[in-house]
Amino acid sequence: AQSVTQPDIHITVSEGASLELRCNYSYGATPYLFWYVQSPGQGLQLLLKYFSGDTLVQGIKGFEAEFKRSQSSFNLRKPSVHWSDAAEYFCAVGATPGSARQLTFGSGTQLTVLP
């Protein structure tokens, strides 16, 4: 069974600082990886996704993530954080086609941005 671990429950950074949110996955086959963001009182919005090909993927709002198969990681990065980035971030792994298409989510990382 697939699983996702987000080791950091809460991260605080200053506005303008760089950000890296960690995500480790466990899955036996080629993973399909996603990062979602949830602003307070809102649903989840997709930031970026990885299916295959280039291991560095670009997403919306200036985010990027790098897939490292050797480390089973898919860390999310942003070079300069804005106050509006304060939210909860979820990493997820998707099952391969042909099996159930559900996503398995990590427990989330809450990001606080200091002025």
3-state secondary structure of 85: helix
The residue among 15 and 73 lying less far from other proteins, judged by its C-beta, is 73
Q: Is 104 in the site for other proteins (CB under 8 A)?
A: yes
Q: Is 32 in the site for other proteins (CB under 8 A)?
A: yes
Task: Return the exposure string of 45-74: e unless at least 16 CB atoms fall within 10 Å of the residue's CB, then b.
Answer: eebbbbeeeeeebebeeebbbbbeeeeebb
Least distance from C-beta 14 to other proteins, angstroms? 26
Among 10, 14, 17, 46, the residue binding other proteins under the rule CB under 8 A is: 46
